[in-house]
C-alpha cells in the first residue's frame, strides 16, 4: 500500500493545491504499525475505517451450503479467486456498499487506489476538478474482457431489472458497445442438439471497465438507480452463488443509468495492475517544452503534420518536414540541452513507461479454459467507436500477408493509440 501511496503523492496529490484525504477500509482493525507507516507516507489527512460487520457478511437470504458447493466448483474450473470467501465479500462491497459507508458521506468524489499498483505518469491537473467541471460521473483507464464463467446470470438479472424499472435507464445511455453483434467470432464448441441455437446477438459481450482504477461520483453510486440495481443483483445471491465482480456491475450500471458523455477514458493516466498495464503517448511533454522556450514556439503545426504523415506510413522515425529547417532543429536541441542542464543532467520523464497500444490488455483476464465468444473489436475500441474502429487495408501490405499466413487473423487498426491522446 505504501508503494501505491508514494506514487499517487509524487505524481499527483503531493501538490499544495491538492492534498486530498486518504480513506482506508478494512474488515478488521488496522494495526498500529499500518497506521503509523501510512501516515508517514503522506502529509494529507488519513482515516482508517473498519467496515461494519453487516457490510462484509453473507446476507441472511443466501444459502451457505449452495455458496460453498458453488465456490468449490468455480475454483475447480479456474475462475480466479472464486473459492475465497473473502473475495466474494470484497466484490459485493466494492460493487455497491462502499459508497454508503458513513466516512464517505461528506465526499463527492472517490479515486480507488489498490495496493501494489503503478502510476507511471505525472498528472498535471486536478482530476477531481476535471470531473466536476466537465460534468463527468465515472472515469476509467482500461476496458477489457472478463471471464464469462464468473457471472453466468448477470445479464439475465440485468434484463429482468430493466424490464421492471425501464424508467431508470437514462435517455442518453448507450450500451451498444456492451452487446454482441453478428460480426463477433465464436470459439465455443457446442454439442449439436438439432435445435436452431443461433448465436446470441444482443447479449452482454463481457466487456468491463477494469475497476481497480476508477475515479467516480459518489452521488452516482449512492443514487436510487445504482442502489436499486445493486440490491436486485444482491437479492438474487449472485455475489455468492456466482462470482459477480464489482467491475462488470459498475460497468453495466454506469452504462445504463448515465449518458455516455458522462463517462471518461483517462488514457493520460499511465497505470499498471498485475499483468494489465496502459502507458499513454508522452508527446505532450515536448510540446510543453517548446511552448515555454524563450525563443518562442517552433512551427509546431507544420512540424506535427510532417511527423504524423511519416508515422502513418508506419515508420518510427520523424522525418524533417518542409517547414523544419536546420535552424529549428538546432533550437530544439538547445532547448533540450538547457532542460537537461537545469535538472542536473537528469531529464525528468513525465511518464516512466513504454507507450502501449490501447488494446494491449483486452483478453488478459480470460483464461484459456473459458471458451467464450469474443467481440470482433476490442472493448476499448467498442467504447470509443468512430475512427477507432477503422481497420487497415491489409491486402497490399506484404508484412500482413505474411502474418496472416503465419496464423494471425490479420486485423489491424489504422489508429493504435500510440500517437496522440485519443480523447473523443
Task: List residues near ligand GDP by CB under 6 A.
Answer: 26-27, 81, 86-87, 90, 114-115, 212
The one of Mg ion, ligand GDP, none whose footprint includes residue 418, by CB under 5 to 8 A per kind, is none
Active-site residue, 214 included: yes
Q: Residue 187 and residue 210: Cα distance in Å, rounded?
A: 24
Which of 81/418 has CB closer to ligand GDP?
81
Coil, helix or strand at residue 252:
helix
Residues that bind Mg ion (CB under 5 A): 114
The one of Mg ion, ligand GDP, none whose footprint includes residue 90, by CB under 5 to 8 A per kind, is ligand GDP
Which of 114/186 has CB closer to Mg ion?
114
Closest residue to ligand GDP using C-beta atoms: 86
Nearest distance from residue 18's CB to ligand GDP, in Å? 22
Nearest distance from residue 80's CB to ligand GDP, in Å? 6
Nearest distance from residue 243's CB to ligand GDP, in Å? 10
Which of 311/364 has CB closer to ligand GDP?
364
Cell numbers 457446442: residue: 190
Cα distances (angstroms) measured from residue 47 to each of 22, 27, 301, 327, 339: 6, 14, 48, 56, 40
Cell numbers 503531493: residue: 14
Q: Residue 175 and residue 203: Cα distance in Å, rounded?
A: 11
In the DSSP assignment, the letter for residue 374 is B
Active-site hit among 28, 101, 102, 214:
214
Which of 117/256 has CB closer to Mg ion?
117
Residues in contact with 285: Cβ distance below 8 Å, sequence separation at least 6, in sequence order: 349, 350, 351
Q: Residue 255 and residue 239: Cα distance in Å, rounded?
A: 20
Nearest distance from residue 54's CB to ligand GDP, in Å? 15
Nearest distance from residue 117's CB to Mg ion, in Å? 7
Cβ-in-10-Å burial (0-12, 13-18, 19+) of 83 comes to middle
Cα distances (angstroms) measured from residue 358 to each of 11, 217, 266, 276, 413: 22, 25, 12, 11, 11
The one of Mg ion, ligand GDP, none whose footprint includes residue 115, by CB under 5 to 8 A per kind, is ligand GDP
Contact 319, 240 (CB under 8 A): no
Counting Cα atoms < 13 Å in the Cβ hemisphere of 245 gives 21
Which of 81/260 has CB closer to ligand GDP?
81
Beta-carbon neighbour count of residue 115 at 10 Å? 11
- Supply the residues annotated as catalytic: 214
Amino acid at each position: 500500500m505504501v508503494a501505491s501511496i508514494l506514487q499517487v503523492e509524487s505524481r499527483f496529490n503531493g501538490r499544495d493545491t491538492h492534498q486530498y484525504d486518504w480513506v482506508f477500509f478494512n474488515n478488521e482493525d488496522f494495526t498500529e504499525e499500518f497506521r503509523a507507516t501510512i501516515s508517514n507516507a503522506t502529509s494529507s489527512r488519513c482515516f482508517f475505517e473498519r467496515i461494519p460487520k453487516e457490510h462484509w457478511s453473507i446476507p441472511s437470504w443466501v444459502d451457505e451450503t449452495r455458496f460453498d458447493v458453488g465456490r468449490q466448483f468455480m475454483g475447480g474450473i479456474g475462475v480466479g479467486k472464486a473459492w475465497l470467501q473473502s473475495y466474494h465479500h470484497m466484490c459485493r462491497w466494492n460493487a455497491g456498499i462502499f459508497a454508503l459507508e458513513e466516512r464517505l458521506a461528506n465526499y463527492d468524489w472517490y479515486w480507488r487506489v489498490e495496493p501494489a499498483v503503478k502510476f507511471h505518469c505525472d498528472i498535471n491537473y486536478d482530476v477531481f476538478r476535471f470531473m466536476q467541471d466537465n460534468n463527468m460521473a465515472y472515469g476509467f483507464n482500461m476496458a477489457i474482457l472478463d471471464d464469462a464463467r464468473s457471472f453466468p446470470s448477470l445479464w439475465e438479472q440485468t434484463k429482468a431489472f430493466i424490464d421492471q424499472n425501464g424508467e431508470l435507464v437514462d435517455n442518453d445511455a448507450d450500451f451498444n458497445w456492451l452487446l454482441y453483434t453478428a460480426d463477433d467470432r465464436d470459439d465455443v464448441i457446442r454439442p449439436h442438439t438439432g435445435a436452431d441455437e443461433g448465436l446470441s446477438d444482443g447479449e452482454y459481450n463481457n466487456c468491463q471497465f477494469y475497476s481497480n482504477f476508477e475515479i467516480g461520483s459518489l452521488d452516482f453510486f449512492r443514487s436510487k438507480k445504482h442502489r436499486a440495481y445493486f440490491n436486485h443483483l444482491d437479492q438474487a445471491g449472485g455475489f455468492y452463488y456466482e462470482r459477480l465482480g464489482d467491475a462488470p456491475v459498475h460497468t453495466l450500471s454506469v452504462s445504463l443509468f448515465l449518458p455516455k458523455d458522462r463517462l471518461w477514458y483517462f488514457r493520460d493516466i499511465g497505470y499498471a495492475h498485475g499483468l494489465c498495464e496502459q502507458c499513454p503517448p508522452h508527446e505532450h511533454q515536448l510540446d510543453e517544452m517548446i511552448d515555454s522556450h524563450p525563443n518562442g514556439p517552433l512551427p509546431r503545426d507544420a512540424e506535427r503534420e510532417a511527423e504524423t504523415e511519416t508515422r502513418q506510413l508506419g515508420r518510427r522515425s520523424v522525418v524533417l518536414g518542409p517547414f523544419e529547417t536546420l535552424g529549428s532543429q538546432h533550437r530544439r536541441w538547445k532547448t533540450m540541452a538547457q532542460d537537461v542542464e537545469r535538472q542536473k543532467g537528469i531529464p525528468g520523464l513525465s511518464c516512466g513507461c513504454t507507450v502501449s497500444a490501447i488494446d494491449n490488455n483486452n483478453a488478459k483476464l480470460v483464461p484459456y479454459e473459458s471458451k467464450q465468444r469474443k467481440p470482433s473489436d476490442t472493448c476499448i475500441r467498442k467504447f470509443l467507436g468512430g475512427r477507432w474502429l477503422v481497420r487497415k487495408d491489409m491486402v497490399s501490405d506484404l508484412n500482413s500477408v505474411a502474418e496472416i499466413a503465419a496464423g494471425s487473423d490479420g486485423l489491424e487498426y489504422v489508429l493504435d493509440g500510440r500517437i496522440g491522446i485519443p480523447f473523443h
